[in-house]
A and B are shown apart, each in its own frame.
Chain A
């Protein structure tokens, strides 16, 4: 079995090299038969990678511990779903998943566009072939998931905290996002290489970008929710380099999704879009480098391995390639029109882009800071949460405001008087919200107050737009169906507002208290009274569960339990928190029992009340819905774009 997997990966490597070399020659010499052959090689590389992936999946499900990888990441007790999740639980398997998605995405994107954009896809094949060559080489020569050994009786198992449904879905979601960014990058490079730097590559890859961005965004929220319910520290995002590695390409892709609208509509920002798509792709590979090289300290214990230097080399080479390509084709990337007014839709998109990229780069600076200080001062220094929080507020709050203003400004130019009239209702809503919040005593946090005021402003602009559009078309359904991209975007904006309200509420207005409690003793927080009712120990075959039970009275009444699990195989503990959600208030009562003594019943407990935190998870569902609306095929829009871009295609 392992031989089959190994052979399949060698075949993938050969096919990827062929797609790169033959595809490049075919595109350069305009040889159609050779181009078709290179394209077929790309399709077949997906098939051979699928065989390799199937071999590993079967080995995981069958607990075949003769595979070193299977023995290192699973054991006999592991349920099938978690055994399969070990596919991406380790280095080699996750790289195989990356290659599988890359060849699958690449083959599909090329197959869909091969007739409409023949000259462009001829160059896309060698670009995707090049990326696949790198990943298949690493899997064949550096980190093979098909190394074998004498099978031990049992494997090492999967860490208990990773045995969670969120961990089954979160990593593949991120990979679908990371790797998805390769498609717009390959088409952008193809456009530059073929000299067809018009808007066709953007139209061809818009849904690919949107899908990758959705996966990446939703994947991060799944990871945040896992951290919240499983890790047991009361938070959901720690600004850890590995978390930032997923956030940075998402921010760059967010900027790209907005700025392509300016290029489609006005023929501007062509160089900027090329830079953004390259930045998003490079950051996604950089994230992989970061998580596997051990160059920075992270709560995720990534080992220092030789694989990091390969990824660093790939990031450097592909960045230089992208930069050289853009410089070479600069004359083709001249804007068709110019920005006429600083008070226009395109200017608003530009401001939004600058803020998003600034936020992305400041996070990158924070991630790189330890490496830079080590190189410059010979001492590793890190910057923590205050740095990131400061820049999140500095760039995030104006971004929130722009999300409301941007869609209401006219293209080309708008007058101050016109804008004032348009923004009258949203501004009123914002002011009323701010005054009300101060009146009810929620003015203790300035960033929280500003976030809520801006959120009210954005929600009001969305409502104004929907009401205005519905009046014009006669039906909300018709309105959305006629312009799914625009109204899907509004739904995503609403999701971001919910996210902002959730983040502001749970961080600016949360409360916390710690106490040591004997049996019968009580503590109070935010109207809740918690009384220790004792500790129980429940031994099970693979785990011993210790729980402290607390009676709760207040806004909610009942019993809440928290403690820890001690597993036998692997011999790891996990903290089990008690969470009670009040959906009406969006609030969580979050109980962490640090120490529980079964004999005495004495416990040390930390209680947190986190207002509105559940809006963050609701935002994830709304975000998914909005993205689905924007992604849904729209024949009317497609006809519009084809008509507009036809002259460019025939030129």
Chain B
């Protein structure tokens, strides 16, 4: 004759364990980063990511001390607010250029984003055909 099932206890312990790990992580190690568009960045500072379209002239070199300089605007083009970016590090991805949608991560202070990482969006997939 089967005795009282430990299944519920196992499940409860597992759920509790997962929650505990999750809370521990979010309390100790977890830190999320704000991901903003140029029109949302006003009044913010610190580590963040900016999603936008590259505009203006590309100046400088990402490997040099002065960095690669460009500007970002809202991806949808509804807002004209621009963010100045200075990016230093490895060369940006090959698809990076004016007009391309990118995500730049870094530190924002005094109206300028000091970028340390650029992700260029992969074009063509699953965008609707122009009609």
The answer to whether residues A91 and B127 also contact, given A382-B32, A386-B29 and a CB cut-off of 8 A, is yes
A161-B122, A301-B121 known; A338-B94 Cβ under 8 A: no
Q: Given A574-B94, A575-B94: A73 and B124 within 8 A (CB)?
A: yes
With A299-B122, A380-B36, A595-B91 as given contacts, are A339 and B6 in contact (CB-CB < 8 Å)? yes
Classify the interface of chain A: helix, strand, loop or mixed: mixed
Bound together, the chains give a CA A573 to CA B6 distance in angstroms of: 60
Residues on B with C-beta less than 8 A from A299 are: 103, 119-122
- What are the residues of chain A within 8 A of B126 when measuring CB–CB? 90-91, 94, 291-292, 300, 302-303
- Whether B125 contacts A381 by the Cβ 8 Å rule is no
Q: Which chain B residue has the least Cβ–Cβ distance from A227?
A: B122
Q: Does A522 contact B (CB under 8 A)?
A: no
Q: Does any Cβ of B come within 8 Å of A358's Cβ?
A: yes
A519 within 8 A of B: no
The CA of A564 and the CA of B95, in the complex, are separated in Å by 11
Contacts of B91 in A (CB 8 A): 594-595, 604
Q: Which of B35, B49, B101, B129 contacts A92 (CB 8 A)?
A: B129
Residues of A within 8 A of B34 (CB): 379-381
Closest CB pairs A-B (n = 5): A594-B91, A301-B121, A338-B5, A381-B32, A72-B129
Q: Determine the residue in chain A with the shortest Cβ distance to B91.
A: A594
Task: Decide if B65 is an interface residue (CB 8 Å cutoff).
Answer: no
Q: Provide the bound-state CA to CA distance between A91 and B51, in Å.
A: 23
- Cβ–Cβ contact A68 & B131, under 8 A: yes
A143-B128, A300-B126 given; A594·B25 CB < 8 A: no
- How many of chain B's residues have a CB under 8 angstroms from any CB in A? 43
Find the B residue at minimum CB distance from A379. B34
Stretch at the interface among B10-18, B80-88, B108-116: B10-18
Q: What would 19 more interface pairs be, CB under 8 Å, given A68-B131, A301-B101, A301-B125?
A: A90-B124, A143-B128, A159-B124, A300-B126, A302-B127, A305-B128, A307-B128, A339-B10, A342-B6, A347-B6, A350-B11, A351-B10, A351-B14, A358-B18, A379-B34, A382-B35, A382-B49, A387-B25, A595-B63
The smallest C-beta distance from B80 to any residue of chain A, in angstroms, reads 20
Q: Is A150 an interface residue (CB 8 A)?
A: no
**A319 in contact (CB, < 8 A):** no
Is the beta-carbon distance between B32 and A347 smaller than 8 angstroms? Answer: no
Contacts of A347 in B (CB 8 A): 6, 10
For chain A, the bracket of interface size reads 35 or more
Contact B123 A514 (CB under 8 A): no
Query: Could you list 19 A-B pairs, sorted by A, with CB under 8 Å?
Result: A68-B130, A69-B129, A72-B129, A73-B129, A92-B128, A147-B131, A149-B131, A232-B94, A297-B51, A301-B101, A339-B7, A347-B6, A379-B36, A564-B94, A573-B94, A575-B93, A592-B90, A594-B90, A604-B63
Choice from B30, B36, B49, B122 contacting A159 with Cβ under 8 Å: B122
Rounded to whole angstroms, the CA-CA distance of A175 and B124 in the bound complex is 18
Q: Which residues of A contact B14 (CB under 8 A)?
A: 351, 354, 358
B127 touches A301 (CB 8 A): yes
A339 x B5 contact (CB < 8 A): yes
A369 x B32 contact (CB < 8 A): yes
If A340-B2, A358-B18 touch, whether A91 touches B32 (CB-CB below 8 Å) is no
